[in-house]
């Protein structure tokens, strides 16, 4: 919970900082707030300015989160995108 609060404080100063959004997504996932975490991961995947490494990280995270929600077709799309880089 503290990690989410700290991420929110950082995001006030640096809106849409991808690394902070990713950490917030991971913190929410660890807190079992999977629906919230996957929304952030999906937002990150859609960013046109992400590097190939970021694409792998964000797609992998979104895929794992979707699988956790039993959204297997969506999970497969994200995991395939992660595999491609």
pLDDT one-digit tens code per residue, 6-65: 888 888 887 778 999 999 999 999 999 999 999 999 999 999 899 999 999 999 999 999
Per-residue pLDDT, 1: 77
Q: Token digits for 67?
A: 């699988």
Per-residue pLDDT, 6: 84
Per-residue pLDDT, 24: 94
Report the phi/psi class of residue 32: left, alpha or beta, with left for phi > 0 and alpha for psi in -120 to 50. left
Per-residue pLDDT, 2: 87
Per-residue pLDDT, 77: 97
C-alpha 85/C-alpha 5 separation (Å) is 31
């Amino acid at each position: 919970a503290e990690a989410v609060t700290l991420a929110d404080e950082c995001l006030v100063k640096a809106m849409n900082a991808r690394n902070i959004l990713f950490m917030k997504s991971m913190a929410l996932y660890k807190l079992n707030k999977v629906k919230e975490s996957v929304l952030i991961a999906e937002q990150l995947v859609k960013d046109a300015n992400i590097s190939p490494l970021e694409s792998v990280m964000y797609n992998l995270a979104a895929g794992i989160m979707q699988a956790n929600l039993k959204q297997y077709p969506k999970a497969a799309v994200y995991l395939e995108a992660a595999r491609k880089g």
